[in-house]
Amino acid sequence: MSGAAGAAMDTITLVGRIPVEDGGVTRRLASLETENRHLRALLIQAHRQADAELLRNARLGQIVASERDASRAEAERIRAESEALDAKHRIDLADRSARLADAEELNLQLRASEEFNRRILWTSTDCVKVLDLDGRMITVSANGPAMFGVANHAALIGQPWAAFWSAPESRAAVKAALDAARAGRPRRFQARLGRGGAETWWDIAVTPIDGADGRPERILAVSRDITELKQNEDRQTLLMQELAHRVKNTLAMVQAISAQTLRNADSLAAAGEALGARLFALARAHEVLLQGSWSSAGLADLVGTAVTLHGGGEPGRFAVSGPDLTLAARTGLTLALMLHELGTNAAKYGALSTPAGRVAITWEVAGPEEARRFRFRWEESGGPPVTPPARSGFGSRLIQRSLAYGVGGSAHLAYPETGVVLTLDAPLSGLVAG
Amino acid sequence: MPETPPEQPVVLLVEDDGLLLMEASDTLSDAGFTVLEAPHADKALKVLENRDDVGILMTDVDMPQGSMDGFALARLVADRWPSIPVLIVSGMGTPGPDDMPDGARFIPKPYEPTTLVRTLRAFARRAA
């Protein structure tokens, strides 16, 4: 538009360049010139006005356009908003029904888990109790009355748990565990429950159950019956003590045998030989004892062992007869040592030192029922003529003090020329196992 | 031994095992004591009632044949013959606090013969 206005001005300028010749003409030219300037100014003014008008129109157009854009955006925004609201409602709805389904599912799970727990409690041999913070029983599993030896649950519910533990150390342990649980700490311990005449042992776990505020609200106590375990432990301890006692006793015997052997020996070589033989006899007697669980020994077995040891593999050197008896362990050991001494002596100086010699071992139980007596006899024959020993050795001294000595019986060692004879006579009750 | 008393007292030895009795008896005889033997508590009490020269009592604990065990015998002797010192010997573990009378000594079995002799000599010095 400004280009068009410029072209018009060029045309007017060309008109103004017409040559001037005289005064009249000059004036005429001057007035034309003035008019021309005036017209040009008017024209410029008109152009400017037109331009301003155009500019204004353009601005207005822009405003209108922008206004139109703005309302279109607003409409779009409103539409989007309402769509979003719709979607949100739809989501809310879906969410709500999903939550409902979840809740129902959870409810089912809880019910199943509750049932599961109930079944665990039902099948468990443990006694489960829920206590309040004062230690009173709120819930007790089905086996509770049996555990505490009461008629029914009514005798337990509301009662202080600790009151049922009558043994002082057990009650103290229970109370300490409750204190710990109140302070939020679990505790595990063993306690003894005296119930009438019977005594039971329990392994108990006590745990705090926290409330919503994270502090202990209730206390869970689970007790397991370990009575049998405790009884086994006690039995084992007793067995170990008994074993220790017997080993010590055996070692004391070995010590005495060694000392006695050295005390009475003619030479160190003789002592070594005698000691070895005595300990071997003791070991064989222990084997017989083992068959009786180390608490008794069969007399026939003990005699049989001695016969094997001293018979030299020749049949018929011993004639053995007597009813089998179960002797007390110590009686059995002593008898085995005695038989060993008799056999060794017979092999050295007596009937077993010649091929024709014989030994008869006989015993019997005689006398009335309430005063049974045990009579035992070792009798040698067919050996060289016997002369009584100049001094009493280990064997004869042992015989004098053994078996019959402690139980009010008598032992007699005789040396007739025909062969050594031992007779033993003692109350049976003092010798047999029982 | 410069401290060996000129006259060793009589020891009453109570033991139901013949072998152990024999060896203890020999050990004490060799050490210069006069030894009296009893197989159980009742026989020991008879000896004490019939003699007045018993200076020391040495007893085993587990003696099924008598009417009482060695602990009961020791307490009875401490009560009736308070001047007689008591030595208890056993393989049955350590005695409980109320088992032994005041002043009694305990030696576990098996024991060293020298320990036995030393303990009895100390008793003899105490009694002298």
Residues paired with A219 in a beta bridge: A131, A208
Residue of B121, B82, B116, B118 whose CA lies nearest to B102: B82
Residues paired with A206 in a beta bridge: A187, A221
For chain A, the residues whose C-beta falls within 8 A of a C-beta of chain B are 241, 244-245, 248-249, 251-253, 255-257, 259-260, 263, 330, 334, 337, 397-398, 400-403, 405-408, 430
Res A5: pLDDT: 46
Separation CA B125–CA B4 (nearest Å): 8
The verdict on A92 and A138 lying in the same domain is no
- The answer to whether A42 and A14 are in contact (CB under 8 A) is no
Minimal CA separation from A251 to chain B, in Å: 7
The verdict on A60 and A156 lying in the same domain is no
Residue A76 located in a structural domain: yes
Residue with tokens 């009173």: A136
- Reduced to 3 states (helix: H, G, I; strand: E, B; else coil), residue B122 is helix
DSSP secondary structure string for all residues of B54-106 = EEEEEEES--TTSSS-HHHHHHHHHHH-TTS-EEEEESS-PPPTTTSPTT-EE
Best of A240, A246, A249, A257 to substitute, by most chain B Cβ atoms within 10 angstroms, is A249
- Computed over every residue of chain B, the mean pLDDT equals 90
Residue of A nearest to B21 (CA): A401
Does B60 contact chain A (CB < 8 Å)? Answer: no
Cβ of A248 within 8 Å of Cβ of B20? The answer is no
**Range B28-54 average pLDDT:** 94
- A249 chain-B contacts, CB cut-off 8 A: 17, 91, 109
Sign of CA dihedral A167, A169, A175, A178: negative
**Range B52-63 average pLDDT:** 93
- Which residues are CB-contacts of A317 (< 8 A; sequence separation ≥ 6)? A311, A352, A357, A358, A359
Domain with residue A244: its CATH number is 3.30.565.10
Structure tokens at A231: 């009884």
Q: What kind and span of H or E run contains B87? A: strand B86-90
Domain with residue A190: its CATH number is 3.30.450.20
For residue A286, what are the domain limits?
232-430
Domain count across chain A: 3
From A116, A145, A172, give the residue that closes a domain: A116
Does B93 contact chain A (CB < 8 Å)? Answer: yes
Does B108 contact chain A (CB < 8 Å)? Answer: yes
End-to-end CA distance of chain A: 145
- Which residues are CB-contacts of B60 (< 8 A; sequence separation ≥ 6)? B14, B15, B16, B17, B20, B70, B89, B90
Res B81: pLDDT: 95
- Which residues are CB-contacts of A143 (< 8 A; sequence separation ≥ 6)? A125, A127
Residue A122 located in a structural domain: no
Neighbours of B67 (CB within 10 A): 11
Cβ of B93 within 8 Å of Cβ of A252? The answer is no
From A116, A138, A157, give the residue that closes a domain: A116
Best of A330, A337, A339, A396 to substitute, by most chain B Cβ atoms within 10 angstroms, is A330
Q: For strands A358-366 and A373-381, give the pairing.
A: antiparallel
Amino acid type, A346: A
The verdict on A267 and A391 lying in the same domain is yes
The full 3-state SS of A199-256, as one line of letters, equals: EEEEEEEEEEEECCCCCEEEEEEEEEECHHHHHHHHHHHHHHHHHHHHHHHHHHHHHH
- The answer to whether A342 and A318 are in contact (CB under 8 A) is no
Out of A251, A408, A430, the one facing B110 most closely (by C-beta) is A251
Residue with tokens 């007793």: A238
The verdict on A195 and A311 lying in the same domain is no
- Is the peptide bond between A355 and the residue preceding it cis, with omega within 30 degrees of 0? no
CATH top class, domain B10-127: alpha beta
- B66 chain-A contacts, CB cut-off 8 A: none
The verdict on A174 and A260 lying in the same domain is no
The percent of residues in chain B predicted with pLDDT above 70, rounded, is 94
From A184, A207, A225, give the residue that closes a domain: A225
Does B26 contact chain A (CB < 8 Å)? Answer: yes
Res A12: pLDDT: 47
Amino acid type, B23: E
Residue of A13, A72, A73, A74 whose CA lies nearest to A43: A13
The verdict on A265 and A408 lying in the same domain is yes
Q: For strands A187-195 and A326-328, give the pairing.
A: unpaired
The verdict on A48 and A137 lying in the same domain is no
Minimal CA separation from A196 to chain B, in Å: 29
DSSP secondary structure string for all residues of B16-58 = S-HHHHHHHHHHHHHTT-EEEEESSHHHHHHHHHH-S-EEEEE
Structure tokens at B114: 């020298």
Neighbours of A139 (CB within 10 A): 15
Cβ of A406 within 8 Å of Cβ of B110? The answer is no
Residue A121 located in a structural domain: no
Does B91 contact chain A (CB < 8 Å)? Answer: yes
- Which residues are CB-contacts of A101 (< 8 A; sequence separation ≥ 6)? none
- B40 chain-A contacts, CB cut-off 8 A: 406
Cα-only R_g, chain A: 63
- The answer to whether A327 and A289 are in contact (CB under 8 A) is no
Residue A44 located in a structural domain: yes
The verdict on A102 and A160 lying in the same domain is no
The DSSP secondary-structure symbol of A405 reads G
- Reduced to 3 states (helix: H, G, I; strand: E, B; else coil), residue A362 is strand
- B17 chain-A contacts, CB cut-off 8 A: 249, 253, 330, 334, 406
The verdict on A359 and A295 lying in the same domain is yes
Burial class (CB in 10 A: 0-12, 13-18, 19+), A311: middle
Cβ of B18 within 8 Å of Cβ of A405? The answer is yes
Separation CA B54–CA B39 (nearest Å): 16
Supply angle C-alpha A193, A177, A210, rounded to 5. 125
Res B128: pLDDT: 66
- Which residues are CB-contacts of A62 (< 8 A; sequence separation ≥ 6)? none
Report residues of chain A scoring pLDDT below 70.
Answer: 1-23, 195-196, 404, 406, 434
Separation CA A302–CA A318 (nearest Å): 14
